[in-house]
């Protein structure tokens, strides 16, 4: 894909996010590769930085085998978390979003850089200051969620908002804390809708972060100390609408919640 087309599509993604007017699928309009899509997303990130937004960290999507098979891929995807993607616990207006869904995820706060290739889950845990419960609100800039992997990547892995639990960091070396066995209870309007364990994310959420560090090395990008990495959803995405209250409780990590309002 030529530079002019990458620039045009990056501007389209940015405009759709700003106006909440959904786009037509890029994959229906162009012969677009996964590499093209990452270049579009990186261009969007540069444009956001130019207007004053800050990089908070990275997100990993499509970590479940079921979602990978659905989209015909064999690895996750990723996107950048910008300062404008962060929301606090409490309420969030549907007017800020297009067609949101909620995903419970383990968030890693890094105290050391991680630079691939060759990063392992053990390296990730050694570089982690602590982990937090989080809810990612995914929100596609393409109408109807009929996306292919190239659309998702160009759209920053469908990032919308990220909410972190306010209980503070949990040390990954805490006795008895093995993220593979970390239990999750996901509630919607007070009813349990999903339960899961950390192993739902590539066998261990730390493996997901290791994958990202190695993937980013292809673009000479590193995971930096102080950044937050959300490691992928433990459950399928949960559709939400105005009036819904979502709570995710992650065993020893505690809980995080958000209510959706008009």
Name the least confident of 60-64, 143-147, 208-212: 60-64
* CA-wise closest residue to 258 among 90, 79, 22: 90
Residue range 74-103: mean pLDDT, rounded: 93
Model confidence at 76, in pLDDT bands (50, 70, 90)? confident
Selection from 202, 200, 193 nearest residue 249 by Cα: 193
pLDDT tops 90 at residue 71 = no
The predicted structure's pLDDT at residue 133: 98
CA dist 7 → 100, 186, 200 (Å): 26, 39, 36
Which pLDDT tens digit goes with each residue over 227-248? 999 999 999 899 999 999 999 9
Predicted confidence (pLDDT) at residue 77 exceeds the cutoff of 80: yes
Q: What is the mean pLDDT of the chain?
A: 94
83: Cα within 13 Å, side-chain hemisphere: 8
| Sheet order of strands, 90-93 included | 90-93, 255-261, 245-249, 183-188, 191-197
Checking if the pLDDT of 81 tops 90, the result is yes
> Would you say residue 70 has pLDDT above 70?
no
Q: Is the pLDDT of residue 226 over 80?
A: yes
- Render the burial of 216-226: b for 16+ CB within 10 Å, e for the rest: bbeeebebeee
3-state SS track over 105-129 = EEEEEECCCECCCCCCHHHHHHCEE
Strands 255-261 and 90-93: parallel
How high is the pLDDT of residue 67?
65
> What does the pLDDT average to over 139-162?
93
Q: What pLDDT is attached to residue 144? A: 85
pLDDT tens by residue, 249-259: 999 999 999 99
CATH 3.90.850.10 fits 3-261, yes or no: yes
pTM of the model: 0.94
What pLDDT was estimated at residue 171? 96
Q: Is it the case that residue 95 has pLDDT exceeding 80?
A: yes
pLDDT tens column, 20-34: 999 999 999 999 999
pLDDT by residue (tens digit) across 32-44?
999 999 999 999 9
Angle between helices 34-50 and 3-19 (to 10 degrees): 60
């Amino acid at each position: 894909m030529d530079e002019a087309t990458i620039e045009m599509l990056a501007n389209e993604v940015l405009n759709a996010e700003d106006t909440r007017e959904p786009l037509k699928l890029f994959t229906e309009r162009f012969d677009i590769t996964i590499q093209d899509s990452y270049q579009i997303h990186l261009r969007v990130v540069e444009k956001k930085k130019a207007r004053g937004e800050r990089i908070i960290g990275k997100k990993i999507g499509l970590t479940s085998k079921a979602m990978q098979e659905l989209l015909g891929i064999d690895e996750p995807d990723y996107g950048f978390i910008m300062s404008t993607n962060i929301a606090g616990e409490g309420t969030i207006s549907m007017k800020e979003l297009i067609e949101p869904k909620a995903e419970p995820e383990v968030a890693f706060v890094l105290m050391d850089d991680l630079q691939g290739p060759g990063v392992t889950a053990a390296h990730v845990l050694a570089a982690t200051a602590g982990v937090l419960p989080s809810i990612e609100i995914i929100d596609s800039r393409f109408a109807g969620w009929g996306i292919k992997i190239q659309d998702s990547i160009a759209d920053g892995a469908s990032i919308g908002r990220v909410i972190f639990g306010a209980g503070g960091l949990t040390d990954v070396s805490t006795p008895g804390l093995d993220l593979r066995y970390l239990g999750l209870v996901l509630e919607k309007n007070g009813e349990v809708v999903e339960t899961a364990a950390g192993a739902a994310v590539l066998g261990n959420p730390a493996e997901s972060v290791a994958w990202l560090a190695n993937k980013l090395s292809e673009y000479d990008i590193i995971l930096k100390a102080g950044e937050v990495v959300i490691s992928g959803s433990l459950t399928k995405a949960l559709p939400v609408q105005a009036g819904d209250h979502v709570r995710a409780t992650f065993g020893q990590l505690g809980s995080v919640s958000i209510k959706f309002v008009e």
